[in-house]
Amino acid sequence: MGKELSIVTVTLNTAIDRVLEADNFAVGGHVRANQKLRYPAGKGINVSRTLARLGWQNVATGYIGETHAAEYNEFLRSIKPGRINNQLLAVRGATRENITVLDPVNHTDTHIRTEGYEISEHVSGRIISKVGLLARQGTMIVFSGSLPPGMTVTDYNTLVYVAISAGSQVVLDVDGDVLKSLVQIGTGDHAETKPFFMVKPNLHELEEMLGIGSLQSEDEIVAAAKQIAGVVQWVVVTLGEGGAIMISPDGAAWRGRCDVLSEEVQNTVGCGDTMLAGMIDGQMRDAEPEEVLRRALALATANAMEPGVAEYELSLVAELETRTQVVKI
């Protein structure tokens, strides 16, 4: 039996993702490219899309440049079979763009990012009020992505604290310095209750938040992840092509990896977001830890095998689950 939870994603720095394809791409020359995809995105938006593809209803909030508000609304309404309730707040300016250039000959992907809208102090108050209205017991709130210009780490702390104080299950997938600050607030009044439901850093973000050097061995990564397990129920450290390591609430550690060939990988954009959605999907279905991690890794891998985000067929995910190894360590 699944959990009866409302899911809310918060994306403060949304983006328009464009995927171009160019054979033998090289910097400094004239390049002929084909536009493969163009779609509204942002880390939390990608989580919302994946959850909707898996059949879940969810609310997407955060900011969107007013020039792209109608485009986002139309796009999010089209995602099936689940449903995304669009509660993004329109602000002055344009949404930034993330441009990915795929080179199918050399099997490379190059990422180019622009800056978009800037958030004023008044506009920061709007999202705090919005999260305050959505946050309550029985709600899972997923905070994903970077801070837009104009917002500070202190603003983000306030936003997350509002959700914690309302009794929501809080999931974090944010930059390492922001994550460090947020986990520090969890060691305060709420420390005994593990205020964060799930945290999903990549290896660099884990190193950054703990202020430590390069983590090399599996034992080092597990030990580092357990340093934040005191305030987090589930810790998931993504390792790129190396898979992921997961720490469960009882302190057990799991390692998983999906076997695919390098030439099968087309695009790495959104893989972490897809994996996070897979982790949430497994938790909502009360799946066993091994199944949660296996399914999440299969979803992330399926995403890597297509040029866009959440564009894969679910039959591919099922096939990749059979190629995913998960072991308790």
> Domain holding 306: CATH number?
3.40.1190.20
Q: With contact defined as beta carbons under 8 Å apart, do 243 and 259 qualify?
A: no
Over residues 190-205, the mean pLDDT reads 83
Least-confidence region, from 178-187, 251-260, 291-300: 178-187
For residue 252, being part of any structural domain is answered with yes
Percent of the chain with pLDDT over 70: 96
Over residues 305-312, the mean pLDDT reads 86
Predicted pLDDT of residue 1: 41
Q: Which residue has the higher pLDDT, 265 or 10?
A: 10
For residue 299, being part of any structural domain is answered with yes
For residue 5, being part of any structural domain is answered with no
Residue 193 has pLDDT above 80, yes or no: no
Percent of the chain with pLDDT over 90: 74
Residue 185 has pLDDT above 80, yes or no: no
Over residues 52-79, the mean pLDDT reads 96
For residue 75, being part of any structural domain is answered with yes
Predicted pLDDT of residue 2: 60
For residue 1, being part of any structural domain is answered with no
pLDDT band at 192 (very low <50, low <70, confident <90, very high): low
For residue 181, being part of any structural domain is answered with yes
Domains in the chain, number: 1
Residue 4 has pLDDT above 80, yes or no: no
Q: Which residues form the domain of 194?
A: 10-328
Residue 167 has pLDDT above 80, yes or no: yes
Predicted pLDDT of residue 95: 96
For residue 148, being part of any structural domain is answered with yes
- Mean pLDDT over the full length of the chain: 91
Residue 150 has pLDDT above 90, yes or no: yes
**Euclidean distance between CA atoms 282 and 289, whole angstroms:** 8
For residue 305, being part of any structural domain is answered with yes
Over residues 10-35, the mean pLDDT reads 92
